[in-house]
Amino acid sequence: MSGFDLRQEGAVAVITGGASGIGRGVAEVFGAAGYRLVLADIDASAGRQTADELASLGCEVELIPCDVADASQVAAMIQTAARRWQRIDFLFNNAGVVGRQTSIDHLEQEDLDRILAVDLKSVFYTCKQAVPLMRQSGGGSILNMASITADTGSAYYTAYSAAKAGVIALTRSLARQVGRFNIRINCLSPGSIGGTGLMQEYYVDHPEKQTQDRLSLVKKIPLGRAGKPRDVAHLALFLASPLAAHIHGAIVTIDGGESLGAQ
């Protein structure tokens, strides 16, 4: 491998929420870089389509339908991946839900529980299962997904923002725990990313706001556009690689300057 080669032939990457959006973008980039892929997604139909398309491009890919909010399903998913390839080199905790836009007094208990389960508790579940396997094989890399709203807050997505703040705290805590085992863990904090399930979910309920929001992003983001799944994927590929060998416990913002505030 040359000094700047990001390829990792035969390494195994587990990607939750891998059927679409950022997860799919990461799968495409990692597959092209030689990784064997495990896609875990609650949407089995979309997952199968993504897996088949990646396989047609020559990627080795395993689809495992999984609700990451269910600890038993997560354990079974990680065990299935380990049985197939005897190792896990990279874990990307990407699966997430944003929930409905609502004030705190109208936040339903069911919605709160689901958001915390998918966005925060699932990261505990996957790490609990993957860390022992990585430790046994000599190390690995974990990348969690937060959001700039963990720092800025979000007036009407309070549960989502709180869950993502929890992901940041969990990342830092685990970094103190697992670094001695040559396991690196970092966290991405993206801003607005187009083409993701989270944004599409919002616009289903608010179709009239899509064009308006696109125009407002030009004013809100210094780079003048929302991010793309591949923007995130390329950063993830670097953080998973040996080139990032001394990056550990970091919270890396990728938002085109959005968190700087309005221009």
Tokens of 245: 């060998």
> What confidence score (pLDDT) does residue 219 get?
79
Does 57 fall in a domain? yes
Residue 160 designated active-site: yes
Give how many domains the chain has, as a whole number: 1
* Rounded Cα gap, residues 1 and 3, in angstroms: 7
Give the CB-side neighbour count of residue 39, counting CA atoms within 13 A: 34
Does 211 fall in a domain? no
> What confidence score (pLDDT) does residue 197 get?
60
> What confidence score (pLDDT) does residue 1 get?
45
Helix (H) or strand (E) holding 39: strand 36-41
pLDDT reading at 215 higher than 90: no
**Of 35, 125, 157, 160, which one is the catalytic site residue?**
160
Does 236 fall in a domain? yes
According to DSSP H, which parts of the chain are helical?
21-32, 44-56, 71-85, 109-116, 122-136, 149-152, 158-178, 197-205, 210-220, 229-240
Does 98 fall in a domain? yes
Q: Going by C-beta distance under 8 Å and a sequence separation of 6 or more, which residues neighbour residue 157?
A: 98, 99, 101, 149
Residue 30 CA, chain-centre distance (Å), reads 13
Report the CATH number at residue 23.
3.40.50.720
Does 262 fall in a domain? no
What is the per-residue pLDDT across 81-123, written as a single tens digit (0 to 9) for each?
999 999 999 999 999 999 998 999 999 999 999 999 999 999 9
Tokens 């992901």, residue located = 167
Q: What is the pTM of this model?
A: 0.93
Tokens 């689809």, residue located = 63
Domain boundaries, position 89: 12-193+229-254
Letter for the amino acid at 85? W
What is the per-residue pLDDT across 21-59, written as a single tens digit (0 to 9) for each?
999 999 999 999 999 999 999 999 999 999 999 999 999
Does 199 fall in a domain? no
Mean pLDDT of the chain: 93
* Rounded Cα gap, residues 47 and 171, in angstroms: 27
